[in-house]
Amino acid sequence: MQISMYQASVPVFIRMLANLVAILEKAAAHAEARKIDPSVLVNARLFPDMFPLSRQVQIAADMAKAGPARFAGLYSTAFANTEKTFPELIERVRKTVAFLETMKREQVDGTEERSVSWPTRGTTRTLPGLQYLLNHVTPNVYFHITTTYNILRHNGVELGKQDFLGPIPQ
């Protein structure tokens, strides 16, 4: 059986972003229950030179949206990075899921060899679609969601592996 570019991206990212929403909701509830200013968690980071939780969520959402959009030849602009609260971050992730839900299999499938270009710090990189998905987009989505999870765990939010994995689709 062969897996398609669509199957390897859109449903996977929708699922992981849904898990991210659940993680962020747990963090908001944790802050409220323990009378912690939520901005402490939203601005928390694991190391001084790492982005805070808010930026981790923003990047995860942007990567999940940009990959499939680029496969489809759609211009995908990042959302403004203005979120400062859990509700704002959750809304951003939900907007990303809503965008991904508009993607059609035929827009994404067959793009394994299509050149995909994207801006990086001061340059533009180009890879074939499959390499871009497997070696850039997917690792970035997982990295930033994992880092969000780790920041919250480090700060006492009761999260476990199942929160990260979420329900297994049938």
- Is the CB of residue 108 less than 8 Å from the CB of residue 6? yes
Q: What pLDDT shows up at residue 31?
A: 98
Could you tell me the pTM of the whole model? 0.94
Structural domain contains residue 132:
yes
Q: What pLDDT shows up at residue 76?
A: 66
Structural domain contains residue 135:
yes
- Name the residue among 69, 79, 61 with its Cα closest to residue 116: 69
Structural domain contains residue 113:
yes
Is it the case that residue 94 has pLDDT exceeding 90? yes
Structural domain contains residue 15:
yes
CATH classification at residue 92: 1.20.120.450
Structural domain contains residue 84:
yes
Angle 108-72-170 from CA coordinates, rounded to 5°:
30
Structural domain contains residue 170:
no
Structural domain contains residue 22:
yes
Structural domain contains residue 35:
yes
Q: Name the pLDDT band for 118 (thresholds 50, 70, 90).
A: confident
Is it the case that residue 1 has pLDDT exceeding 60? no
- Is the CB of residue 26 less than 8 Å from the CB of residue 162? no
Is it the case that residue 154 has pLDDT exceeding 90? yes
- Name the residue among 11, 10, 105, 23 with its Cα closest to residue 56: 23
Biggest distance spanned by C-alpha atoms of the chain:
52
- Name the residue among 17, 11, 7, 4 with its Cα closest to residue 142: 17
Reduced to 3 states, what is the DSSP secondary structure of residue 75?
A: coil
Task: Give the tens place of pLDDT for each residue, 50-88.
Answer: 999 999 999 999 999 999 999 998 876 678 899 999 999
Residue 139 domain boundaries: 5-165
State the total domains in the chain: 1
Q: Name the pLDDT band for 168 (thresholds 50, 70, 90).
A: confident
Q: What pLDDT shows up at residue 15?
A: 97
Give the number of residues written for the chain.
170
